[in-house]
Chains A and B, each alone.
Chain A
């Protein structure tokens, strides 16, 4: 772990790639012919390799969508699995072009890390998982518990705030990677495992007896998860930001992976703008006119991606909840493409 940080730090200090990359990421990516994308180390539903070694997940699809917009080929991505504590250094040093690794958007991260959040791919919150045999029904009953957590996350600070705020004592055991924390929880070292609720459901799938564990009802924080890019390259920032908005817009307009070719023939002015048959919005971004069609063909619209990876169509089976479109009771909303 230390070695990895060290490598990134040295790369950062030497600025081998950062200087070229910070100014014109799009050109660097095109020259390389590959998008370098930082993802998690195996969180089902968000970023995990499947049994054939292909990366899948919501976070992964964001990178595939960016690759589709740039190269018209969603496979032109190199995925770099990162631990929570190494992810920002990897982005700062130019090792990766996009960090799409269930990362919580906070003010301090937006300002002090030399990186910017481009949007929210998943509205999440922090929760707790305990063994059913403990017969705990609420997080407020967790006084004096031992809690396993992954280091380098907002989770650690929320945990401290929550227990302090409720005048409860606890013991925190912080591990280098998520898997190590889950393993320690499973072995009985901790009473509680805590991370974002979506992560709890995903990690529960990895446990030997998933049914013996229960996620407590309390959600103790706001965790808007989203992709990050380096500060100082507005064009690249726009591309990643609008890639996500294109996926959301496609869902709003009912454009799906299946019907995208038909929809592209639509004569509605709004559709013509989105598909680039009218105007040059894609080119203004530095992409091509058919950028939205490329994205939707590659990964589908936001709703399809959600369902396939974490929603009803996946093992996780998480309800859309606040991640539904604004027009359907959620808060996912994209500014107009015009």
Chain B
């Protein structure tokens, strides 16, 4: 009797079944459909209910209000803004304020975090204890409390504008912020910038050349004197030929405040300092963990090659540690950005304050405004994650699998 070969199972159907229903097969598929339907029904109910409620309360839904005149002023605007601009402009002003404080915060938090981590790992007993104390103190105190501390206890204790601390008669520190001379472009400005760009490009090319020489011919070229010379020399030559690139508008006390010059408001400083010192404590722990995750044989290998401790860390240990550090570091960057919304407590005009605060209460368009605000924070977070992932991908490529 011939044995019939068993029919191969229908590949396509099996694959479909697994894709749609998982291990539970078609039964799982039904459950998934029901789940999605339930979700859709809840979403529909929410939307329909909200719409009905808005209608009975006579609230006009939609985004038309964004074009209306705002009619209030903002203390820090990176783009020109006045009370007669629209809510769209207010939104942009708030968004830029949120972004600027976040970027400054991330920059300093990263530097401080790395320094504290290295300090904590240092063989120097005193340094490591100080770094450890910093981490334990800062990360265990509520952030809002720290923001208020910097704002009300440190910066508000500065003297008033009339008694401000002055440096060279042109820099002024008071409880109204830090006022510095404002650079205003002269005719020599463009050649000056061009000289800087040329110097940077030339330096990059030089570095490439030096690297090629090192790899191909084993020749080590010292390029830094050249780079330094170009970076300083070219702009100086440019200003000698075309005149000074900028002139400075010196601030002076007029009435209650300083007129002229540029000013960093104390709200910005307090928020940026609090956010960066707070986040730095977490970043320090992440970096420490990352460095300690690299096998200590790597450190020993570096030493046996004759590298100094600093060079070993920089060239061998940190690049390997970065792979471990990167994902939690991204989390901290996202946290910092979101924490910047605590600004409203100290009067810093961030997105939540001017848009989800003043604009919301003036227009009453709660659903639209909160939706936009949440969308913006989501977008900022996704972009940050994407940048960090890209960096991680490049790092992974350069380190190999």
A residues near B, CB below 8 A? 1-2, 5-6, 8-9, 12-15, 18-19, 22-23, 84-89, 92, 108-109, 111-115, 134, 142-146, 148, 151-153, 156-157, 159-161, 164, 170-176, 180-181, 183-184, 187-189, 191, 230-232
- Which residues of the other chain, A, contact B370 by a CB distance below 8 angstroms? 5-6, 9
B293 to chain A, nearest CB (A): 36
Task: Decide if B290 is an interface residue (CB 8 Å cutoff).
Answer: no
Instruction: Identify which of A113, A176, A181 contacts B357 (C-beta below 8 A).
Output: A176
Q: Is the CB of B356 within 8 A of A5?
A: yes
User: Considering the complex, which residues of chain B in the window 267-302 have a beta carbon less than 8 Å from any beta carbon of chain A?
Assistant: 267
Stretch at the interface among B4-12, B52-60, B134-142, B313-321: B52-60
Which applies to chain B's interface (DSSP): helix, strand, loop or mixed? Answer: helix
The CA-CA distance from A86 to B369 in the complex, in Å, is 13
- A157-B356 contact, Cβ under 8 Å, with A113-B59, A174-B349: no
The CA-CA distance from A23 to B53 in the complex, in Å, is 10
Q: Is the CB of B360 within 8 A of A145?
A: no
Q: Is the CB of B257 within 8 A of A174?
A: no
Q: How large is the interface on B (under 10, 10 to 19, 20 to 34, 35 or more residues)?
A: 35 or more
Name the residue among B50, B60, B267, B362 with the largest chain A CB count within 10 angstroms.
Answer: B362
Q: Is the CB of A152 within 8 A of B83?
A: no
- Which residues of the other chain, A, contact B255 by a CB distance below 8 angstroms? 143-145
B357-379 Cβ-contact flags toward A at 8 Å (1 or 0): 11011111011001000000000
Instruction: Identify which of B267, B362, B367 contacts A9 (C-beta below 8 A).
Output: B367
Q: Is the CB of B50 within 8 A of A12?
A: yes
Instruction: Identify which of B49, B152, B254, B347 contacts A19 (C-beta below 8 A).
Output: B49
Task: Decide if B75 is an interface residue (CB 8 Å cutoff).
Answer: yes
Q: Is the CB of A2 within 8 A of B344?
A: yes
Q: Is the CB of B347 within 8 A of A148?
A: yes
A100 to chain B, nearest CB (A): 17
Instruction: Identify which of A12, A111, A115, A170 contacts B367 (C-beta below 8 A).
Output: A12
B242-263 Cβ-contact flags toward A at 8 Å (1 or 0): 0000000000001111010000
The CA-CA distance from A2 to B345 in the complex, in Å, is 11
The CA-CA distance from A62 to B52 in the complex, in Å, is 30
Name the residue among B56, B152, B156, B357 with the largest chain A CB count within 10 angstroms.
Answer: B357
Task: Decide if B214 is an interface residue (CB 8 Å cutoff).
Answer: no
Name the residue among A86, A89, A134, A159 with the largest chain B CB count within 10 angstroms.
Answer: A89
The CA-CA distance from A161 to B364 in the complex, in Å, is 21
Task: Decide if B197 is an interface residue (CB 8 Å cutoff).
Answer: no
B132 to chain A, nearest CB (A): 33
- A8-B71 contact, Cβ under 8 Å, with A175-B347, A231-B56: no
- Which residues of the other chain, B, contact A171 by a CB distance below 8 angstroms? 75, 176, 257
- A173-B364 contact, Cβ under 8 Å, with A2-B352, A92-B59, A160-B72: no
Q: Is the CB of A152 within 8 A of B362?
A: yes
* New A-B contacts (17) at CB < 8 Å, excluding given A8-B366, A174-B357, A175-B345: A5-B356, A12-B50, A12-B53, A12-B367, A13-B367, A114-B58, A145-B256, A151-B361, A153-B361, A172-B73, A176-B344, A180-B345, A180-B347, A181-B347, A183-B152, A188-B175, A231-B59
- A156-B364 contact, Cβ under 8 Å, with A14-B50, A22-B57: no
Instruction: Identify which of B50, B52, B56, B364 contacts A113 (C-beta below 8 A).
Output: B364
Q: Can you name 16 A-B pairs with beta carbons within 8 Å?
A: A12-B50, A112-B59, A114-B59, A143-B255, A151-B353, A151-B354, A152-B362, A157-B362, A161-B71, A164-B83, A173-B265, A174-B353, A174-B354, A175-B347, A187-B156, A232-B57
- A112-B367 contact, Cβ under 8 Å, with A15-B50, A175-B345, A188-B156: no
The CA-CA distance from A89 to B364 in the complex, in Å, is 7
Q: Is the CB of A22 within 8 A of B56?
A: yes
Chain B minimum-CB-distance residue to A163: B73
